[in-house]
C-alpha cells in the first residue's frame, strides 16, 4: 500500500509539515491531511460522546494543501472513536486548548476501514485527561509531536504505555514563560486560565475581575505590567491585606472599577493609559500608599457622575502624592475629583522613587 512520506522540520518556534506552519493553528480549528486529498467526515464529528455536545462546525474546507475543520468555539474535548474510522487520514493536528483525548480517539486498529494510513499526530499542548484503559493512540506506529516544554509531562502521563511502537518527538522551543515571583499569584492564574503563564497565555487575558479577591496569601504582583491585553479591572485586589510593593497598570487598561485596590499595603500604583475611566473608590483603605502616577495628559474621568466623593475620599491616607504629566498639573488641580489634593499634585519630572 502506498505510504505517504511526511517531511517534518522543527525550527525555532515552528513545526512545519510539508510547508505548513502548525504553530499558528487557531484554537477553534483542527487541521489534517489525507492520502487522496479527499475530506474525512469523521474529523467534523466533535459532538459525539466525550466531546462538546453544543459545539457547531462552521466550515470544513480544503485550504493550501490541507483540510480544516472550523468550529464556533475553542475545541477542548476530543470525543471517543473520533478518527477510529477514517481510512484516508495521514496526519492530524490538535489545537492548543484541547485537554481531553477520549477512548481510541486517535485510532484503534490498522485494518482498511480503520486508520491504515494515519502516521502523524501533532499536539499543540499536552492533553490532561484520557482513558488509561482505552488509550487514544491505540493504533500504534505513530509519530506524535509534542511541544518541547510539554515533553516531560506527556511521557510521564503514560498516555502511550500500551503502544510501544509509537514514537514521541519534541517540536519548537519552549514558549517564553512569564516569571511570576509570588507563588500564590502564579498558581491562581494557572488555575483560572487553564495553563502555565506563557507570554502567549498572558496576552489572551483581557479582564482581571475578582482575580485575587480576599487573597491574604498574595504578597506581590509587579508582573501585572506585562498583561498588555487586559482592558478592564474590577475588585482585582480587593481585600489583599498583605499585598505590598508597587504596581504598574498597563496602557491597555481603560476601565478600573471601584474597589480594585482595597485594603492593600501597596506603596505605589502607576497608571499608563491615556483617558482611562475610574470607579468610585478605585483605591480604598490603602494606608501605606506613598504615590500614584497617572500618565494621562487629560484628567481621567469618573465612570459615574461627579458627586461629593473625590478620587481619594476613601484612601485613608492624607500624605500620598499624585504625579502627573508636567504640562497637565493645572488641569488636575482644577478638576472636580482631584482639586482637593492641592499641592500634593506634582509634576512627573519630580518623581524620584
Q: Looking at the 3D structure of the chain, how many domains does it have? A: 2
Structural domain includes residue 3: no
First to last CA, the chain: 73
Structural domain includes residue 2: no
**Whether residues 203 and 325 fall in one domain:** yes
Structural domain includes residue 35: yes
Please state the rounded mean pLDDT for residues 273-296: 97
Beta bridge partners of 143: 120, 167
- The answer to whether residue 163 scores a pLDDT higher than 70 is yes
Phi, psi of 84 (to 5 degrees): -60, -35
More confident residue, 167 or 290: 290
**Whether residues 162 and 203 fall in one domain:** no
Residue that terminates a domain, selected from 142, 171, 200: 171
**Whether residues 47 and 121 fall in one domain:** yes
Residue that terminates a domain, selected from 115, 148, 171: 171
Structural domain includes residue 223: yes
Give the model confidence (pLDDT) of 199-240 as tens digits: 777 887 889 999 999 999 999 999 999 999 899 999 999 999
Residue that terminates a domain, selected from 171, 202, 231: 171
- The answer to whether residue 25 scores a pLDDT higher than 60 is yes
- The answer to whether residue 19 scores a pLDDT higher than 70 is no
Report d(CA 76, CA 235) in Å as an integer. 29
**Whether residues 76 and 152 fall in one domain:** yes
Report d(CA 154, CA 156) in Å as an integer. 5
17-26, 106-115, 134-143, 187-196 — which is least confidently predicted? 17-26
**Whether residues 138 and 46 fall in one domain:** yes
**Whether residues 156 and 197 fall in one domain:** no
**Whether residues 201 and 87 fall in one domain:** no
Structural domain includes residue 300: yes
Q: Cα separations (Å) of 13 from 101, 148, 225?
A: 24, 10, 25
> pTM for this structure?
0.58
Q: What is the pLDDT of residue 80?
A: 95
Structural domain includes residue 86: yes
**Whether residues 132 and 209 fall in one domain:** no
Cα dihedral sign, 152-153-154-155? positive
Angle at the Cα of 121 (from 123 to 48), degrees rounded to 5? 85
| C-alpha cell of residue 313 | 475620599
Q: Which residues contact 272 (CB under 8 A, 6 or more apart)?
A: 248, 249, 250, 251, 253, 295
Angle at the Cα of 91 (from 204 to 116), degrees rounded to 5? 145
Q: What is the pLDDT of residue 337?
A: 97
**Whether residues 159 and 210 fall in one domain:** no
Using DSSP bridges, classify how beta strands 277-278 and 77-78 pair: parallel, antiparallel or unpaired.
unpaired
- Count Cβ atoms below 10 Å from residue 244 Cβ, excluding itself: 15
Structural domain includes residue 310: yes
**Whether residues 153 and 78 fall in one domain:** yes
**Whether residues 204 and 162 fall in one domain:** no
Structural domain includes residue 177: no
**Whether residues 161 and 201 fall in one domain:** no
Q: Residue 242 is part of which domain span?
A: 183-350
Amino acid at each position: 500500500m502506498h505510504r505517504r512520506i511526511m517531511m517534518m522540520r522543527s525550527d525555532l518556534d515552528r513545526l512545519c509539515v510539508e510547508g505548513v506552519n502548525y504553530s499558528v493553528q487557531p484554537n477553534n480549528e483542527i487541521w489534517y491531511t489525507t492520502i487522496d486529498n479527499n475530506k474525512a467526515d469523521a474529523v467534523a464529528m466533535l459532538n459525539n460522546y466525550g466531546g462538546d455536545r453544543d459545539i457547531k462546525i462552521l466550515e470544513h474546507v480544503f485550504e493550501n494543501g490541507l483540510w480544516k475543520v472550523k468550529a464556533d468555539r475553542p475545541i477542548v474535548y476530543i470525543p471517543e472513536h473520533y478518527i477510529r474510522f477514517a481510512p484516508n487520514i495521514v496526519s492530524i493536528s490538535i489545537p492548543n486548548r484541547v485537554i481531553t483525548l477520549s477512548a481510541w480517539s486517535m485510532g484503534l486498529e490498522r485494518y482498511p476501514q480503520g486508520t491504515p494510513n494515519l502516521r502523524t499526530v501533532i499536539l499543540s499542548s499536552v492533553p490532561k485527561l484520557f482513558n488509561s484503559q482505552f488509550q487514544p493512540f491505540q493504533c500504534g506506529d505513530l509519530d506524535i509531536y509534542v511541544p518541547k516544554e510539554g515533553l516531560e509531562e506527556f511521557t510521564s502521563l503514560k498516555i502511550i504505555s500500551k503502544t510501544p511502537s509509537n514514537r514521541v518527538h519534541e517540536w519548537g522551543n519552549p514558549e517564553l514563560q512569564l516569571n511570576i515571583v509570588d507563588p500564590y499569584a502564579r498558581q491562581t492564574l494557572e488555575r483560572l486560565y487553564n495553563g502555565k503563564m506563557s507570554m502567549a497565555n498572558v496576552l489572551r487575558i483581557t479582564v482581571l475581575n475578582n482575580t485575587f479577591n480576599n487573597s491574604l496569601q498574595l504578597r506581590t504582583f509587579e508582573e501585572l505590567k506585562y498583561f498588555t491585553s487586559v482592558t478592564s479591572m474590577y475588585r482585582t485586589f480587593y481585600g489583599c491585606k498583605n499585598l505590598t510593593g508597587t504596581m504598574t497598570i498597563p496602557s491597555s487598561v481603560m476601565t478600573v472599577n471601584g474597589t480594585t485596590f482595597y485594603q492593600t499595603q501597596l506603596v505605589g500604583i502607576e497608571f499608563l493609559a491615556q483617558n482611562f475611566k475610574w470607579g468610585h473608590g478605585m483605591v480604598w483603605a490603602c494606608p501605606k500608599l506613598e504615590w500614584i502616577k497617572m500618565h494621562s495628559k487629560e484628567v481621567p474621568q469618573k465612570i459615574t457622575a461627579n458627586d461629593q466623593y473625590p478620587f481619594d475620599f476613601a484612601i485613608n491616607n492624607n500624605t500620598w502624592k499624585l504625579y502627573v504629566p508636567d504640562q497637565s498639573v493645572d488641569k488636575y488641580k482644577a478638576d472636580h475629583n482631584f482639586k482637593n489634593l492641592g499641592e500634593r499634585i506634582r509634576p512627573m519630572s519630580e518623581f524620584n522613587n
